[in-house]
Chains A and B, each alone.
Chain A
Amino acid sequence: MSRLLNALHPGDCHSFEAGGQRFLYLAPSAAVMAVDDVSAAVLDVIATHARSSEDITAELAGRFPAEAVEESLDELVRVRALRRVDTPARRPPIVLPLTPVPLSTMVLNVTNQCNLSCTYCYEYGEDKIVQTDNGKQPKMMTEQTARESVDFLLRESGRDAHMTFFGGETLLNFRVLKTTVAYATEQAAALGKTIDFSMTTNATLLSAEVIDFLAEHKFGVTISMDGPPDLQNKFRVFHNGTGSYDIMAPKVKALIAKHRSRPIGARVTLTKDTLDVRRIYTHLTQEMGFWEVGFAPVTASPERPHAFGDAGFEQVLSEFRELAQDYLAAALENRHHGFSNVRETLGEIHKGASKAWPCGAGFGLLGVSTGGDVALCHRFAGSDDHKLGTVRDGIDRTKQHDFLESHHVSNKTDCQTCWARPLCAGGCYHEAHTRFGTTNQPNLHYCDWIRGWTDTCLHIYGTIAQLNPEFLQQFEDANEAPQPS
């Protein structure tokens, strides 16, 4: 009996091999450890069922000295890669910051109108949560509201503030965007804070004047674009159904040619009908000249025709894996590769991010609606159910506290046995709301995909760590503002 009580079984961790080396990814610490031969053998022995340390030592007696096995067991228990059967799993306590977290990024929905009618759009389609058509929220943000938003951001931020303009189609309200940038620059300087700007656009309204303005103010620009003409024109259409490729592509090229101070990225929405990751990537980087391309599966409830089924997720994963191999090959030769999904995940793995919440929505990042309501993020901006305050009256701290407490990963029962939770923490609130009707729910339809993708990125990380560790230096001080999608 006592032997059983002392038995060890695998803790919360994921074992993987890369570059000829065995590694462990430990949850919840998010540490990546390289494992020597003794520890690898121990992990193999214990993989199937709980064993006492005496049994493990006996089983490995022919291969390793008992002393080495015992040392290894001790180390594995210390980092919680192994757990004694009689020790309960520890669930991290829900610790909320005692003082408000400074606001880092404010996403300003300067309009909820759009000149395209992308059929998968979450803002207008059947899954929308914000009433954009009944006049509850103004169609355009006024200059006054935009100024109040700037004041709000500079009041709530630390030394550095990031401001992102979003829509609808952001450039439909270029007039307000322009004056807001001037006001924000002036106010930030007066307060001794730094502020930078970014925006997301469909590129159809990029004129020479707009391009000059974006270049002059060093805007971080993200272009929503789905790939070559046949894929771009499938969903990204004007109100009359005409595809948008021919209008926007030359404008994107003009922007990339002129605006050289910050890399310009493309943001691709994948649907089950436009699943050709490598062709899209090649077109966007080589034909269009984008520095980086990020992909995200469309957010849609399962009954929508463009939504992914299980087979779709598998296909996305295998296409992502192929492109990720190209990233790895480039990384080993110190070349740039623009598959930003990999780069972002590698950055998080390198730091050892272990998230209590899937993203900064609701504390470090907030969305502001056209009327000045403050919500979790831009995807919820304007929804009364997800309102956290207004730019005039500030954040309702009780509501914010309740939100953070109830959405903490420790409250997501399904996530407690998953090794990928340090990076996922249950996934996007908006996705969960669309699929399950509540932001509380972990995105269970994504789990296999997230674990598959995290495993792929861990392989890449491990291989780079083995064969070209200097490449990882770039992630040491990476402190970029998150880009809304």
Chain B
Amino acid sequence: MKHLSPVNAKAHRLAAAVTAPEGVTAQRGGAAPEGAMNDVVALHTPQQPQGPHIPLGCSTVFAPGWEVDRTGGTAGLCQPVERDLFDCHLGCFWPAQVPDQLNRAPDWTKKCAAAQKDWRKIDIIFP
């Protein structure tokens, strides 16, 4: 890295990880985990940042959805129903359905760090 210089021990490991060549996997506890940023990557598209990717969202990934489970009920959903509220904002970005978090309501989900637990804390936004 040219613009950032590691100072503490963790920074040296981080620098080694983010500058390592692609395809090298992380080693646990190693001094310089070469290539830790390039782990197994699923559904990679050009817009996504380099690195281990945990897919979020609906139709583009293998989540079967959260409206109903395979029996037609909601008990066996792999994602809690509350995710539906939140996912229009993050995974799918469906701006008509959620407050405008870029300009008018940047903090509307601030208190909602985990949707399945905190969805009641999401702010009500009046246009």
Contacts and interface: CB of A to CB of B under 8 A. Distances in A.
Interface of A: 4-5, 7, 23-24, 26, 29-36, 38-39, 50, 68, 71-72, 75-79, 81, 84-88, 90-91, 349-352, 354, 413, 416-417, 461-462, 465, 476
B1 A75 contact: yes
Nearest to A34: B5
B102 A50 contact: yes
Contacts of A476: 9
13 contacts: A24-B4, A30-B8, A31-B13, A33-B4, A34-B5, A77-B49, A78-B1, A81-B4, A90-B54, A350-B9, A351-B10, A354-B10, A465-B7
A7 B101 CA distance: 12
A413 to B, nearest CB: 4
A87 B118 CA distance: 20
Contacts of B41: none
B90 interface: yes
Contact of B3 (A30, A72, A351, A352): A72
B11 A87 contact: no
B50 interface: yes
Nearest to A81: B4
Contact of A413 (B5, B8, B102, B111): B111
B113 A351 contact: no
Contacts of A34: 4-7
A351 B11 CA distance: 9
A33 B114 contact: no
A71 B5 CA distance: 14
A31 B11 contact: yes
Interface in B4-56: 4-11, 13-15, 18, 37, 49-50, 54, 56
A87 B49 contact: yes
The 4 closest A-B pairs by CB, nearest first: A352-B10, A31-B11, A416-B113, A78-B18
A479 B111 CA distance: 37
B3 A39 contact: yes
Nearest to B86: A88
Nearest to A37: B3
B117 interface: yes
Between B6, B10, B56, B93, the greatest number of chain A beta carbons within 10 A of the residue's beta carbon is seen for: B10
A200 to B, nearest CB: 30
Between B18, B112, B113, the greatest number of chain A beta carbons within 10 A of the residue's beta carbon is seen for: B113
Contact of A38 (B3, B6, B37, B114): B3
Nearest to B112: A413
Between B2, B13, B117, the greatest number of chain A beta carbons within 10 A of the residue's beta carbon is seen for: B2
Contacts of A416: 113
A284 to B, nearest CB: 30
Interface in B87-127: 90-91, 93, 102, 110-114, 117-118
B113 A33 contact: no
Given A79-B14, A351-B10, A413-B118, A4 B56 contact: no
Contacts of B8: 30-32, 349-352, 461, 465
A32 B113 contact: no
B116 to A, nearest CB: 12
Nearest to A39: B3
Contacts of A349: 8
Contacts of B11: 26, 29, 31-33, 352
Nearest to B102: A4
A7 B112 CA distance: 22
A230 B15 CA distance: 52
Contact of A417 (B1, B4, B110, B114): B110
Contact of A31 (B6, B113, B117): B6
Contacts of A84: 49
Contacts of A86: 93
B3 A36 contact: yes
B124 to A, nearest CB: 18
B52 to A, nearest CB: 9
Between A5, A32, A33, A476, the greatest number of chain B beta carbons within 10 A of the residue's beta carbon is seen for: A33
Given A33-B4, A88-B91, A349-B8, 7 more contacts: A31-B11, A33-B6, A33-B14, A34-B5, A76-B4, A417-B110, A465-B8
